Amino acid sequence: MTSIEPKSTAPKPSLWARAQLGSIEQLHIRLESLIVLFVLGATMAILSPFFLSVSNFMNILLATSTIGVLAIAATFVLSSGGLDLSLGSVLGLSGVVGAAVAVKLGAPTPIAVAACIGAGAAAGFVNGLIITRAFVPAFIVTLGMLGIARGLALVLSDGRVIYGLPQTMVYLGQGRPFGIPMPVIIFIATAIVTHILLAYTRYGRHTLAIGDNENAARTAGINVEWHRLSLYTLSGALAGLAGLLFATRINSGDPTAGITYELTAITAAIIGGTNLFGGRGSILGTMIGALIMGVLQNGLNLLAVQSYYQQMAIGSVLVLAVFIDQWQVRKESRV
């Protein structure tokens, strides 16, 4: 007896269907999202003569880098069935902590960088601890942290922007080795490492399984509580990294940095195919989602479209992306 029952009536899967399945299996992305990105890019290239240039691509990547790192954090948490609403505030807190350690304490750059990322990780760890040990819903805990981290950032900085980071630190935000902005390099390196982590390691596969069916994961012997705790810590650390990119790019620790960024990050993750309720998500997909938003914003800027319309456009893309996704899922479940 063979396992694959030949379907005599059904036609051989089309090239398109096989490509769809292949991209999900090998790259962990929906082919449609990549096509949307290319169509959008091609449209912008036709509409604006300035779009197709290396320097403009660098602009898009640079503008996407901070949100992109936050969106990676959102992808991990969302695909595990969780939620982190504190990303933007933790970004702001981390930037202030990093700047304060560098400027007020005069610590060398490596220590300031570690403090920045460490502050984010600590906030994430607290989130995870309360969610997994005190059983308070993630929505509430991270909503609380949204307020706490923002307030703490304002307290630590006395409500003022901390200027004058050391040169070596500013290089992380403004340096351009080989003409490539440092934030872009850090962003892409982070994306590659985290994509491998989520798509090809047991840690990543367990993350998706927990988001898919927490009971099944627990029955399979996965330590769900420990895993969730580590995910929120990772999410916080990535928000800290985003805070570092933000602060070093503007050469200051701004306690109001990153307000509402968590919503933009979650939007990018979902446009990229992450399931809001867990079980599905990939960093490569999220990168495509973030780039779709970046290209849209950049293109509309080049076309001198008022920024109010950009917000409407991104909102529409979000709803459209989820619509297409749901439609695909329904189609697949009719097999």
Closest approach of other proteins to the CB of residue 89, in Å? 30
DSSP 138-174: HHHHHHHHHHHHHHHHHHHHTTS-EE---HHHHHHHH
136/151 Cα distance (integer angstroms): 21
Q: Which is nearer to other proteins, 26 or 307 (CB)?
A: 26
Could you tell me the CA-to-CA distances from 328 to 20, 120, 271, 287, 335 in Å, in that order?
Answer: 11, 36, 14, 20, 12
CB 276, min distance to other proteins, A? 13
Of 270 and 291, which has the nearer Cβ to other proteins? Answer: 270
Query: Locate tokens 């599905």: which residue?
Result: 280
Q: Smallest gap, in angstroms, from Cβ of residue 42 to other proteins?
A: 31
CB of 190 to other proteins, least distance (A): 17
Nearest residue (CB) to other proteins, 35 versus 196: 196
Residue with tokens 């940095």: 257
Give backbone dihedrals phi and psi of 140, rounded to 5 degrees, phi first. -70, -50
Q: Which residues pair with 161 in a beta bridge?
A: none
CB of 25 to other proteins, least distance (A): 6
| Nearer of residues 2 and 8 to other proteins, judged by Cβ | 2
Give the number of other CB atoms < 10 A from CB of residue 6: 6
**Between residues 12 and 304, which has the closer beta carbon with respect to other proteins?**
12
**Which has the closest alpha carbon to 201: 225, 238, 232, 230?**
230
> In the complex, what is the shortest distance from the CB of residue 270 to other proteins, in angstroms, rounded to a whole number?
15
> What gap in Å lies between CA 112 and CA 300, rounded to an integer?
37
Q: Which is nearer to other proteins, 52 or 196 (CB)?
A: 196
Site residues, other proteins (CB under 8 A)? 1-5, 7, 21, 25, 196, 200-202, 205-206, 208-209, 212-213, 215-217, 219-222, 275, 279-280, 332-333, 335
